[in-house]
Structure 1
Amino acid sequence: MTTVEKQLRNAPRNYWYTIIVTVIVIALFYWSTRGVISLKDIDAKGFKIAGNILSGIVHPDTALLFNITKQSVLYLLVETLAIAFLGTIVGGIISIPLAFLAASNIVPKPIAWLTRLLLIIIRTIPALVYGLMFIRVTGPGPFAGVLTIGLTSVGMLAKLYVDAIEELDTSVLESMTSIGCTTFEKIRYGIIPQLFSGFLSVTIYRFDMNMRDAATLGLVGAGGIGAPLLFAMQSYKWHQVGSVLIGLVVLILIIELVSNKLRSKLVKG
């Protein structure tokens, strides 16, 4: 028996604490299921609709899936991809100055605290609410989707950028100062090389998430594949639903594989 195992066996055990925590967790789980899950509303019609959706996925509308008109799945997927990509770029650009303003090792703590509070407020509001707000300003369409994705990306990207900024190796900057480097040279050769790979890795990860958000934003009219999916379901056109879902799943899988490979290379580099 190893020393670690002996220490674990001899460690005092607080059984009452474990029992109380277990009872509280079980009680909360039971209360949550009673308030959220209602199996009595599921009837034969619901199972039939579920079967129709599965049938649509197995037998998709190939004409809708493979043609290149503006109503086709391919066109709408490309539009969704463009919304996610542009929104991520917009969010990344806005996040950089906000991240520096929120980093307590760069600016005074009151300014950093206020900026972090702003980022918390941005993260609190759901993407669909932002989508509805921007649709009122710009009208329905992809532009509202880009603005929504950009703003929702700011909350997460700026927070993760701040973590990278606060882990900067300041000794490098001190060495550059001692040899007479200018502020621009310190930023160019001391800060950017340390932050670039981390920022890019986080941005790629956020783009992966934004693809899913861009797909759902179409439900409120912010462009992309979501609206045709909703209309097809409301019209009980399950073959069209199947073609949309297949195209969406394939695109997201491809993007996830590519983004994971890029991020792993950045981490290794």
Structure 2
Amino acid sequence: MNTKLHDTLKREPSRRGYIAMICIITFAMLLWSAGVIEINTGANGLGIAKNIIKGILTPDTELLFNFGKTGVLYLLLETICIAFLGTIIGSVLSIPLAFLASNNIVPKPVASVVSLVIMVIRTIPSIVYGLMFIRVTGPGPFAGVLTMSFTSIGMLTKLFSDTILDLDKNILESLEALGLTTWQKIRYGILPQLVASFISTVIYRFDMNLRDATVLGLVGAGGIGSPLMFAMNSYRWNAVGAILLGLIILVLIIEFVSTRIRAYLVRGE
């Protein structure tokens, strides 16, 4: 038995050359990429880092617990609303696009064209969308909502379509044999199987949009990013600490809740 196993292993093609080549190429790319990194460890940079940490440990409590429009709580609520509305709008638009991009539901030429459009949408970073919509609508939360919607469409349509492509084709063939139309196949035979997966994906996208909405605030698209940038530029480290502390707590809460919901939807736990 051991002899047969040894002979089998000897007949297997040696992959050492491929592995060595991959390691060499990866190491060379790491060295090449590291060449563009410039590490600045000057006293000014270290001082700013210390001030930020000190600001988090001693935040501006008046700003942190201010219930007005300039307080951290209101700005966090605005950020959540931007992320939530952008996720909902993007989700609603992504569902029909996902079906149109699935070649097991629609003809392949239609699926190819829609997939190409979605690919173009996904290639544009969210910060670029933010800058574009700020030029169109002006700075404010509305530009943030539009940005979140477009970035959500690119990701959600791709993930929804991948889920649809993994469906059992026998179900589709059975529904087609019964004479159901394309819409009836989607409505009665496919959607009930996809609801849990779709909701889980939407919750994950909302989690991402919440972080992106904070970054978009830096370019004027609403949310808590703009006050954070102004506080840092004016060296108000206690205000910076209050804003960062609020963001940390918010992200931890959203992460915990979204993880539990996704686990319940996917595994029933």
TM-score above 0.5: yes
Q: Distance in 1 between matches of 2:241 and 2:145?
A: 26
Q: Distance in 2 between matches of 1:180 and 1:217?
A: 49
SS of residue matched to 1:70: coil
Q: Distance in 1 between matches of 2:244 and 2:8?
A: 50
SS of residue matched to 1:60: coil
| Match in the other structure for 1:259 | 258
Q: AA paired with 2:42? A: D
Residues 20-35 of structure 1 correspond to what in structure 2 (within 5 A)? 20-35=21-36
| Match in the other structure for 1:241 | 240
Q: Distance in 2 between matches of 1:122 and 1:94?
A: 13
Q: Distance in 2 between matches of 1:143 and 1:71?
A: 18
Change (3 A) 1:183 1:98: closer
Q: Distance in 2 between matches of 1:62 and 1:159?
A: 43
Change (3 A) 1:239 1:86: same
Q: Is the 8 A contact 2:105 2:182 kept in 1?
A: no
- 1:97: Cα distance to partner? 1.3
| Match in the other structure for 2:210 | 211
- Matching of residue 120 in structure 1 with residue 145 in structure 2: no
Q: Distance in 2 between matches of 1:77 and 1:201?
A: 23
| Match in the other structure for 1:229 | 228
Q: AA paired with 1:73? A: V
- Matching of residue 80 in structure 1 with residue 79 in structure 2: yes
* Cα deviation 1:5-38 (Å, max 9, x = unaligned): 9799755544444333322222221121111x21
Q: Distance in 2 between matches of 1:187 and 1:175?
A: 13
- Matching of residue 49 in structure 1 with residue 44 in structure 2: no
| Match in the other structure for 2:61 | 62
- 1:194: Cα distance to partner? 1.0
Change (3 A) 1:120 1:168: same
- Matching of residue 161 in structure 1 with residue 156 in structure 2: no
Q: AA paired with 2:167? A: L
Change (3 A) 1:149 1:161: same
Q: AA paired with 2:133? A: F
Q: AA paired with 1:208? A: D
Q: Distance in 2 between matches of 1:6 and 1:234?
A: 68
CA RMSD of aligned residues (A): 2.4
SS of residue matched to 1:133: helix
Q: Distance in 2 between matches of 1:154 and 1:265?
A: 24
Tell me the matched-pair count.
266
Q: AA paired with 1:30? A: L
Q: Distance in 2 between matches of 1:7 and 1:30?
A: 40
Q: Distance in 1 between matches of 2:59 and 2:175?
A: 62
- TM-score between the two structures when normalised by the length of structure 1: 0.91
| Match in the other structure for 1:90 | 89
Percent identity, aligned pairs only, is 57
Q: AA paired with 1:24? A: I
- Matching of residue 130 in structure 1 with residue 114 in structure 2: no
Q: Is the 8 A contact 2:130 2:143 kept in 1?
A: yes
For structure 2, the 5+ residue unaligned runs are: none
- TM-score between the two structures when normalised by the length of structure 2: 0.91
| Match in the other structure for 1:19 | 20
SS of residue matched to 2:103: coil
Q: AA paired with 1:169? A: D
Q: AA paired with 1:253? A: L
| Match in the other structure for 1:106 | 105
Q: Distance in 2 between matches of 1:174 and 1:121?
A: 32
For structure 1, the 5+ residue unaligned runs are: none
